[in-house]
Amino acid sequence: MPSRRSRSTRRAAGDSRSRTYSDETTKFYWVVLPSANLNGNPAVSNPLNGAASNFLKQTSPPELLSPAEGANVATWPTLRWTPVNGTRVYEIQVADAPTFSSPLDDKITNSTAYTSETTYPADTILYWRVRPLDDERTPLTWSDVRTFNRKLPTAAWDLGLPTSGATTPVLTWAPITGAVSYDLDTDKPDGTHKLWSDLRSAALTYTTFYGTGVFGQRVRANFPSSSGGTMHSPWSTTLNFTRTIPAPDDPATSVGSSGVSFSWSPRPEAREYRVQVSKTTDFARPIETTVNSTGGSRRSTKGAMSAATPPPTGSPCPRACASPSSGRRGRASA
């Protein structure tokens, strides 16, 4: 049998074109009829009286190469197979059922590899097969069927990210090929959650960051789906960041005839300050507690002392701590 195509008799008298046959599991039969003319027209006799012969038309199907049977693949897999002699193009099908009744992909390609533009459903067994088509686009024998499982990749935090501090952290993770956006979910110290959706870059920093305590962050990637929406990858591991606000630096007390002035260096992450005055250093029973939103100083008329007189034992002890708007306080200076 020719490697390029299987040939038959002429389609009609004077028609020199050749044709191809589809692959079949049953035989083809052929016979030659005598004719008095060189062009074969008219042929006489009954084909049933001729010396008939037969052949079986079966093309060797492609052999599937990759991915391996049952492999887990990420994003868009590249499907590969061996070439078949006499093939003009290949038909490839991908389906979520072994019957291929409603394929997710049914494409024609002249290559022996195919990378789909369709986002296949995640965590689902998918089936694929290939068959060659000859010069006349006659479908030939399907290959064996293989399966693969599409696993959406999980986002991974960059190494070296801060785990504690007073300033707002910059959160970054490795970009994922094929992802159209990301979601970031934050566990707050008070037990509530905040979800930021449809982030277009693999980095985030908070423009407003209130409160102290442990903040837990998780990120996931979003991929396009065949339905026009998006599919979510699994959440990443939780990155914990412990927010602290150090005590204000450079506390100072100025005693005047009309009262006492307390001052300290402002902190950039503080929104307000809590100032306490007590007669004991353990501040068990403060004689004054006030909130100062201006920052940097506080004047008190309680417990005023003469500037010319050294403070006696048991005189008021001041302290101040920075606080964000959530009411959670940082450390106090004394």
Q: What is the pLDDT of residue 317?
A: 58
Q: Please write the tens of the pLDDT for every residue from 126-167.
A: 999 999 998 888 888 899 999 999 888 899 999 999 999 988
The CATH architecture to which 64-150 belongs is Sandwich (2.60)
Share of the chain above pLDDT 90, in %: 37
- Among 46-60, 81-95, 315-329, which stretch is predicted with the lowest mean pLDDT? 315-329
Q: pLDDT at position 323, please?
A: 59
**Confidence tier at 300 by pLDDT (50, 70, 90):** very low
Tell me the CA distances in angstroms from 100 to 92, 107, 130, 277, one per residue in order: 11, 13, 12, 79
Q: In the predicted model, is pLDDT for residue 241 greater than 90? A: yes
The model's pTM is: 0.58
Same fold, 64-150 and 164-243: yes
Q: Which of 175, 171, 187, 158 is nearest to 221 (CA)?
A: 175
Each domain of the chain, given as residue ranges in start order, spans 1-58, 64-150, 164-243, 252-333
Is 28 or 101 the better-scoring residue by pLDDT?
Answer: 101
Distance CA 104, CA 123 (A): 15
Most confident option among 30-39, 181-190, 276-285, 324-333? 181-190
Cα separation, 100 vs 127, in Å, equals 8
The architecture in CATH of the region 252-333 reads Sandwich (2.60)
Helix H, strand E, coil C: the string for 96-121 is CCCCCCCCCEEEEECCCEEECCCCCC
pLDDT, average across residues 302-327: 45
As a whole number of angstroms, the distance between CA 83 and CA 81 comes to: 7
pLDDT at 330 over 80: no
Architecture label for domain 164-243: Sandwich (2.60)
Lowest-pLDDT choice from 32-36, 130-134, 307-311: 307-311
Mean pLDDT, the chain, rounded, equals 79
